[in-house]
Amino acid sequence: MNPVVLDLGIALLVVAIAAFVIFTRDAYAAVVAFVAYGLLVSLRWVMLHAVDVAMTEAAIGSGLTGVLLLGTAARLRDECADAPTARTGTGLRVVAGIVALTVTGLLVAAVVGFGETAPTLAPQAAAALPATGLGNPVTAVLIAYRATDTLLEKVVLVLALLGIWSLAADDAWGGRPGRKQRADPDGGLAYFARRLVPVGVLVGLYVFWVGANHPGGAFQGATILAAMWLLAMMAGLADVPSIREVRVRAVLVAGAAVFLAVGLALLGLGDGFLAYPAAFAKALIIGIEVAMTATVAVTLVLLIAGTPERRG
Amino acid sequence: MNTLVTLASAGAITAGLFFFVAGTAGLLRFPDTLTRLHALTKADNLGLGLIVLGLLPQVDGVLMGLKLVAVWALVLFASAAVSQLIARASYRDRGRR
């Protein structure tokens, strides 16, 4: 098929689904359409040869956010079914419309104003790769060139989780999130979980490891690991960890802590904050990424598990 | 010989696409969750299996072929596990109504 036709078809489909997400009245339908939207967007990223972005969009933008939104929709249905729905005032609607149109207009102006060649830092990013010992420029951007951004991202993840935990009732504080999952240990789900989880953990570690030189990396690998842990929980093979457990809390801060420790150590040695010396760059980067992968996996699991609800 | 292999590939992929279309039609037309799940498993298991079968002669190297088969096997297990979860949720929902 003519690639332009395929491009245009997917682009139109993305816009149509986005419109559906906005205009539909049914929260569930909106969430399901949002997940489909994310998958189509990641397909577009693949066609632009941005496989790393595509994987992150599919895993985080579509998968994780989809699960969180589904949980929210279920809670809204159960607990706020007969809450009065206030209609947004006309003034607010007009202001929101003007803001949205302005942002869209500025974006269009920016894209149209690119000229013949889009501004890019790609050549510099590729040229500096040997100094990091990595083969995947996206990983180099995340962990070396813009390391501070990634470090702060890990801090934000922990803060988001603390926000969810702080919603716990007083007597549930320090307990376990969510209801206890009851599942037949000899049932079909437990059977599939037992077989899928070990292979899935291996795939997650592989995606993390291969990220040094090929598409993949800490975040994508950690999402797969988190999904496997969640599957084991939903199949009743494992319980959600208690938020009081020291091991859990240690892993939650490990990513940011190791990152910060390496950065400060390098600063102390006179190289500058997170300025990896070329000889040890790869070893330091892998050390940070191992800690980050563990932190992201556990954080994602606990984000989805939600607020502590029972003692444990 | 080469033409024959290409034809066989095209045939298998077309057959795979047929099962995807059939599965999607079932998803849209069947009356309840369990029958819709049943329709989707045809797309995952048979459709993807046939497409992988059709792609196998086209890849260079055994490793790439093994990766394709691994993708199919992983999708089989993952979709089976997810089907169980969806079916369980719909079963519980039915009890509540």
Top residue of B72, B88, B97 to mutate, by most chain A CBs within 10 Å, is: B88
Q: Which of A199, A203, A234 sits opposite B85 (nearest CB)?
A: A234
Domain extent, residue B15, equals 2-96
Flag whether the ipTM exceeds 0.95: no
Is residue A85 scored above 80 in pLDDT? no
Same domain, A199 and A278: yes
Examine residue A222 and state whether it is found in any structural domain, yes or no.
yes
Long-range CB contacts (< 8 A, 24+ apart) of A48-51?
A51/A215
What is the tally of structural domains in chain B?
Answer: 1
User: Tens digits of per-residue pLDDT, B1-32?
Assistant: 688 889 999 999 999 999 999 998 998 899 88
Task: For helices A3-23 and A27-47, give the axis angle rounded to 10 degrees.
Answer: 160
Q: In whole angstroms, what is the distance from residue A10 CA to residue A61 CA?
A: 18
Q: What is the pLDDT of residue A95?
A: 95
For residues A180 and A310, state if they share a domain: yes
Determine contact: A187 vs chain B, CB below 8 A. yes
| Span A244-268, pLDDT tens digits | 889 999 999 999 999 899 888 888 8
Contacts of A105 (CB under 8 A, 6+ apart): none
Buried b (16+ CB within 10 A) or exposed e, A125-157: eeeeeeebbbebbbbbbbbbbebeebbebbeeb
Is the domain of A133 the same as that of A280?
yes
A59 in B contact zone (CB under 8 Å): no
**Does a structural domain hold residue A268?**
yes
pTM, rounded to two decimals: 0.84
A196–chain B Cβ distance below 8 A for any pair: yes
Domain closes at, from A26, A61, A79:
A79
pLDDT band with cut points at 50, 70 and 90 for residue B53: very high
Query: Is residue B67 less than 8 Å (CB to CB) from chain A?
Result: no
The token pair that represents A53 in the structure block:
């972005």
Q: Chain B closest CA to A88's CA: distance in Å?
A: 32
A141 assigned to some structural domain:
yes
A189 plus A245 within the same structural domain: yes
**Whether residue A135 is found in the same domain as residue A71:** no
% of chain B surpassing 70 pLDDT:
96
For residues A207 and A283, membership in a common domain is answered with yes
Closest-CA distance, A132 to chain B, in angstroms, reads: 29
Which domain, by its residues, includes A277?
A: 122-312
The phi, psi pair for A308, rounded to 5°, reads -60, 135
Residue A74 near chain B (CB below 8 Å): no
